[in-house]
Amino acid sequence: MCFLLPFFSQESANRRLAEELKVQCELRDEREAQERRQMVLDLVELEGQVLGLHAAFDALSLRAQQAQAVNSLMSVVAEIDNALEMSAPVLPQLKKLQEMSRLDPILFSALNSLPCEVTEATHRPVPTAGDLKVSIKKNLRECIQAAFIPPHSGIFGHLLARAFSWFYVLEPHPPPIDPETSADPSRAVAEAADLAGGINAESALNDRESSAGTGDSTSRDGLAKLRRNLALLSYASFYVDRGHLGNALRCLEQLDGLSRAVSLEEIQRLRVFLLLHQTLQLAKARLACINADLLAGAKSP
């Protein structure tokens, strides 16, 4: 029995050793499996980070392209501004701006909504605001002379109108109602002129009836139109002096008869100037909005 004890002790030790080795192997396998799982998770996370970096890079690249496009558009707008300040033709820059604005529907729609006569007028030098003020003031004198010409009159009527226009002093004053406060500014100007013509015609009619007792309706109508045109010219002169060319245009557009015919060229020049400048202001505002969106997107995480 004494000889068997060491044998059993050795066998028991071998079993314990085998069990410990088995446990260690299982722990090692579990640890390796856990490490592999962690490596897979790390790879997935790294892949997500790489994809995120790619997305961020693409977004930055897109913003850079958009910023470059906005800067190019702003550069063309600045070229148009410089050309307008020098009273130079702006058709090449305008066509370039229209072509480059295709990526933005709002800007493209605004630029391509310009009437054909405005685009055609940019073939020639576009007058500045100062040039328009001078030319309109000169044209107002011609309109005054035309207003005094009686309908269907001959050379004598023209000579008489010239004489009257020499002695007539055009006093600039605004209409009784500010057009800017009205829902329809053009209608407000027309109603103010009609009121001026009607009041003056009625006063003249009363004077004629009190002195002579008779009157010619045609002459009264002609006098009313004369008063109306002179009132409109007075309003236009007032607005030109203050640089309100939009209101001056509304006044000139309400003229009738020979005064209207004489002012047609100035009306067209004013329309071109105002429409072109309004479109450029809209383009600048739109580009500023796009630029602000790009800056806000660049600051956001």
pTM score, whole prediction = 0.69
Average pLDDT, 10 consecutive residues per value, the chain (301 residues): 54 74 80 83 80 69 72 87 86 88 85 85 88 93 84 67 74 87 88 77 43 46 85 94 93 91 93 91 88 70 52
- pLDDT for the residue numbered 244: 93
Nearest residue to 270 via CA among 178, 98, 134: 134
Query: Which residue intervals of 115-256 are DSSP H helices?
Result: 116-121, 129-148, 155-167, 185-211, 217-241, 245-253
Domain boundaries, the chain: 129-198+221-276
Look up residue 87 and give its DSSP letter.
Answer: T
Cα dihedral across residues 151, 153, 155, 158: positive or negative: negative
Between the alpha carbon of residue 128 and those of residues 75, 90, 114, 209, 252, the distances in Å are: 20, 12, 19, 50, 18
Residues 6+ apart with CB under 8 A from 145: 161, 162, 165
Q: For residue 154, how far is the Cα from the chain centroid?
A: 48
Neighbours of 88 (CB within 10 A): 14
- pLDDT for the residue numbered 294: 75
- pLDDT for the residue numbered 72: 85
pLDDT tens string 90-122:
888 888 888 888 888 888 888 888 888 888 888
